[in-house]
């Protein structure tokens, strides 16, 4: 019998309890031993839970219990999850988590503490919820030099964009619907402004490069400025708008990493990932594109990834897993100004002909897009590829029209 | 330094050599030791290879070399791959392979030999080429009860069907193009008749159920009878025709497993997997649908999966991995007659009205399909769901028309 503890009894934590309880036979056959939930840490009371006798409000009940070998941290947030995790790892217990904020912010340090103490720190659930991604990247794709990882990493924003694309809903209405259906939080900032996706692409970039990439300073754009007209112009370009977390590993050793809405050709596998689903594309030099698709959030999908990590820890109580990356200070991150891309630009103007001529003059070869019922006072173009710095320089010189939208064209 | 051998220097074997040679640094950082190719077994001569001095025609040079710890079997076929693998495992060497025919035919026995001798037998490359699938199923999805695994498991047939669907090519022309492009062998029977896909779904079913499922006796249909009219009728039903390997794990413990062309709704993730690509959907009770997409064949994609297994063996020279399933005699396989599905039926007739009335009378609720320029002597319908046995019974009673096509409707 292997004794475990769960810290947090919210959406994911209650899912972990549920799977450990209802899938006993399945788990036993995977490990060859029973997994026993000894303690559940939560400040709230759960008197009606069948596990009511296991609840505690005292972290020390877990930390000092030598019988507890593996702890699932599913509290979320940085504090006190960070302090608790560090202490548990120092005491030689393995910790598994779905806490992307903590991994993205303190992953290198916690991995180092785990290594020093011959414990495991695993976090498959932190990216892509129930979608297997970190372990496949670390194990199955290990013979590849990974050139790029790009993904739809946030289900809330993908749901909103899908409603805008498929049903012609405005952003605000789609957000409201997402909130009603439980796909968006009451305060949706972390999702719609791209911060959640940024944490996840940083974790993927850290794993692929072997060096921690911190979210701080990474260019992060959300979808709050996307309008229905942008969706329509994209459609005329045989494309859809998706919020993409992207990291390219350049030949000079730099990481071109950002989160931004992108115009994605309908032929891309990522274009077909709709609603609350996530999809992650890994481009390896041997495999070419490999894509992982599934539910990126939700109680049971996320909890099933947490439980898979618990099982892995139970199997490796003595041997450490090889998941590890070193610390860094983001010194390899390419300044966003140097990132190269074609862009879609939408302008308002009082003199369309003169404005288009000006844009053409500044940007050189452009493709003008057109939609039905196009306003006389609006136009949209797609430029050739150049650096963000050059694009911004040229945009500063635009006199005859006003920039409404500026969206990267994806090469995915 | 860990010494390995490679048996077979064909498409996959030369890819394995290439990756082990060109990705030395990447592999070193994964294992912490160098991987050294000590021997390559092939009956042919490769005097110009940079590794010419390592080639041997004698299997015993590998078997008796105690320094060789891990062997990649990439010869293909059953004999002598089976005998060689068994002997290597008995001598305590770990074996990795891309040989789906061998795994599907003798997997349970070889896994048992590996277990007895504390060695590993790994075969990630045998299903889905470079797509990570066996390890994610075995590790990341282990907390799920898997209800169904369904996939496009053969790139050759998917390429042919894509050309029929997108370009209106006839089967024979599409096959010829596939052969010209190297996606199909000169003797394409194993691909177009579904045997290759059958081996792969049997491996997936064995892994998911923990009991070997043998290809012998599994219902296996290929795509040689699919006509352009079937493609058009499917399109009118907002669907595409895909060759699917499918296994459902029924509540009564039976496995509903088969390979057949299926009519797949365009909204399914599998409908968007085109050309030579493969895609595998795993339906778990916690994760819901998870889909893995990528190149299912080819030298470097497949070789990269073989090398990932080599690395895993190198990391686990003392500890066995947990990949295992027990032997069986297919006693849990549902008789195909009891498999339940809706079907698409296409008939030729001299009296359309009377024929449709007859089919309706026999099958009850049907949906009649229609295409532009439909022949006066042809019609197509979709039935409700019933067992294959019932469908065949009813078809035997059809008098007024002649059955041209009979294709399952997918629920994917």
pLDDT of residue B320: 73
Strand positions, DSSP E, B254-362: 255-265, 277-284, 288-295, 340-341, 343-349
Cα distance from B370 to chain A (closest Cα, Å)? Answer: 26
pLDDT of residue B321: 72
**Residues of chain A by 3-state class (helix, strand, coil), percent to 5:** 40, 25, 35
The stretch A11-18 carries a mean pLDDT of: 96
Instruction: Please give the residue of chain B at the shortest CA–CA distance from A131.
Output: B290
Which residues between 185 and 214 in chain A have a beta carbon less than 8 angstroms from any beta carbon of chain B?
Answer: 210
Cβ of residue A387 closer than 8 Å to a chain B Cβ: no
Distance between CA atoms of B380 and B369, rounded to whole angstroms? Answer: 6
Q: How confident is the model at residue A316 (pLDDT cuts 50, 70, 90)?
A: confident
Q: Decide if B143 and A312 are in contact by the 8 Å CB cutoff.
A: no
Q: Decide if A140 and B305 are in contact by the 8 Å CB cutoff.
A: yes
Q: Is B332 exposed, middle or buried (0-12, 13-18, 19+ CB in 10 A)?
A: middle
pLDDT tens digits along B152-196? 999 999 999 999 999 999 999 999 999 999 888 889 999 999 999
Cβ of residue B115 closer than 8 Å to a chain A Cβ: no
Q: Is the pTM higher than 0.90?
A: yes
pLDDT of residue A147: 96
pLDDT of residue A276: 94
Cβ-Cβ pairs closer than 8 A, A with B, add up to 163
Residues of B in contact with A136 (CB under 8 A): 132, 135-136, 140
A232, A346 contact by CB (below 8 A): no
Question: Which one of A26, A272, A301 has the shortest CB-CB distance to B272?
Answer: A272
Q: Decide if A30 and B322 are in contact by the 8 Å CB cutoff.
A: yes
Ordered domains of chain A (ranges, CATH) = 2-129+299-315 (3.40.50.720), 134-295 (3.30.360.10), 338-409 (3.30.70.1150)
pLDDT of residue A299: 94
Question: Which one of B130, B290, B307 has the shortest CB-CB distance to A132?
Answer: B290
Strand positions, DSSP E, A285-354: 288-295, 340-341, 343-349
Q: Decide if A135 and B131 are in contact by the 8 Å CB cutoff.
A: no
Q: Decide if B27 and A295 are in contact by the 8 Å CB cutoff.
A: no
Cα distance from A105 to chain B (closest Cα, Å)? Answer: 24
Asked if residue A319 has pLDDT above 80, the reply is: no
Our CA angle for A308, B281, B214, nearest 5°, is: 90
Q: Best residue in A294, A303, A313 to probe B by mutation, most B CBs within 10 Å?
A: A294
Question: Above 0.90 for ipTM, yes or no?
Answer: yes
pLDDT tens digits along A147-177? 999 999 999 999 999 999 999 999 999 999 9
Cα distance from B21 to chain A (closest Cα, Å)? Answer: 11
The rounded percent of chain A whose pLDDT value lies above 70 is: 100
pLDDT of residue B322: 72
Cα distance from B100 to chain A (closest Cα, Å)? Answer: 17
Ranges under pLDDT 50 in chain B: none
Residue B329: count of CB within 10 angstroms of its CB:
10
Instruction: Please give the residue of chain B at the shortest CA–CA distance from A297.
Output: B287
Largest CA-CA distance found in chain B, in angstroms, rounded: 77
pLDDT tens digits along A256-311? 999 999 999 999 999 999 999 999 999 999 999 999 999 998 999 999 999 999 99
In sequence order, which residues have a C-beta less than 8 Å from that of residue B7 and are 6 or more positions away? B13, B40, B41, B42, B59, B62, B71, B72, B73, B74, B75, B81, B84
Which residues between 254 and 313 in chain B have a beta carbon less than 8 angstroms from any beta carbon of chain A?
Answer: 269, 272, 284-295, 300-301, 303-305, 307-308, 311-312
pLDDT of residue B185: 87
Q: Decide if B304 and A210 are in contact by the 8 Å CB cutoff.
A: no
> Which residues of A are known to be catalytic?
200
The stretch A369-397 carries a mean pLDDT of: 97
DSSP-derived secondary structure letter, A32: S
Q: Decide if B288 and A301 are in contact by the 8 Å CB cutoff.
A: yes
Asked if residue A321 has pLDDT above 80, the reply is: no
Angstrom CA distances, A344 to A148, A221, A234, A357, A404, stand at: 22, 15, 9, 16, 11
pLDDT of residue B140: 87
Asked if residue A365 has pLDDT above 90, the reply is: yes
Q: Decide if A292 and B287 are in contact by the 8 Å CB cutoff.
A: no
Q: Which two tokens stand for residue B326?
A: 């027990």
Q: Decide if B291 and A290 are in contact by the 8 Å CB cutoff.
A: no
pLDDT tens digits along A47-98? 999 999 999 999 999 999 999 999 999 999 999 999 999 999 999 999 999 9
Question: Which one of A131, A142, A284 has the shortest CB-CB distance to B290?
Answer: A131
Distance between CA atoms of B366 and A11, rounded to whole angstroms? Answer: 44
Distance between CA atoms of B123 and B126, rounded to whole angstroms? Answer: 5
Q: Decide if A136 and B141 are in contact by the 8 Å CB cutoff.
A: no
Question: Which one of B139, B140, B290 has the shortest CB-CB distance to A293?
Answer: B290
The rounded percent of chain B whose pLDDT value lies above 90 is: 94
Residues of A in contact with B292 (CB under 8 A): 290-293
pLDDT tens digits along B206-232? 999 999 999 999 999 999 999 999 999
Asked if residue A185 has pLDDT above 90, the reply is: no
Cα distance from B392 to chain A (closest Cα, Å)? Answer: 37
> Which residues of B are known to be catalytic?
200
């Amino acid at each position: 019998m292997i004794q475990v503890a769960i810290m947090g009894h919210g959406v994911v934590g209650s899912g972990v309890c549920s799977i450990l309880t209802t899938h006993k036979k399945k788990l036993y056959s995977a490990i060859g031993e029973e997994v026993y939930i000894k303690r559940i840490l939560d400040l709230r009371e759960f008197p009606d839970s069948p596990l009511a006798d296991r609840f505690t409000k005292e972290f020390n009940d877990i930390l000092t219990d030598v019988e507890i070998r593996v702890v699932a941290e599913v509290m979320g947030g940085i504090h006190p999850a960070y302090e608790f995790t560090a202490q548990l790892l120092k005491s030689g217990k393995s910790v598994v988590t779905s806490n992307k904020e903590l991994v993205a912010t303190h992953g290198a340090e916690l991995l180092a503490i785990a290594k020093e103490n011959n414990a495991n720190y695993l976090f498959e659930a932190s990216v892509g919820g129930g979608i297997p991604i970190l372990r496949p990247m670390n194990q199955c794709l290990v013979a590849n030099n990974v050139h790029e990882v790009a993904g739809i990493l946030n289900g809330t924003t993908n749901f909103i964009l899908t409603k805008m694309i498929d049903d012609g809903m405005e952003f605000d209405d789609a957000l409201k619907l997402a909130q009603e259906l439980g796909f968006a939080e009451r305060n949706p900032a972390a999702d719609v402004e791209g911060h959640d996706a940024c944490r996840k692409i940083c974790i993927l970039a850290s794993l692929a490069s072997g060096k921690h990439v911190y979210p701080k300073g990474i260019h992060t754009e959300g979808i709050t400025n996307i309008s229905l007209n942008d969706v329509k112009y994209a459609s005329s370009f045989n494309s859809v708008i998706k919020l993409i977390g992207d990291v390219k590993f350049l030949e000079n050793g730099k990481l071109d990493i950002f989160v931004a809405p992108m115009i994605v050709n309908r032929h891309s596998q990522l274009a077909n990932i709709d609603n609350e689903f996530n999809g992650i594309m890994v481009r390896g030099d041997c495999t070419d594109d490999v894509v992982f698709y599934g539910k990126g959030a939700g109680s049971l999908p996320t909890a099933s990834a947490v439980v898979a990590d618990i099982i892995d820890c139970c199997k490796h109580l003595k041997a450490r897993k090889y998941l590890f990356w070193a610390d860094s200070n983001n010194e390899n991150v390419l300044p966003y100004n140097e990132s190269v891309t074609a862009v879609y630009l939408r302008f308002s103007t009082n003199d369309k002909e003169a404005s288009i001529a000006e844009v053409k003059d500044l940007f050189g070869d452009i493709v003008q897009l057109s939609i039905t019922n196009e306003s006389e006072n609006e136009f949209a173009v797609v430029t050739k590829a150049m650096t963000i710095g050059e694009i911004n320089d040229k945009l500063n010189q635009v006199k005859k029209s006003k920039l409404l939208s500026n969206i990267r064209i994806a090469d995915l």
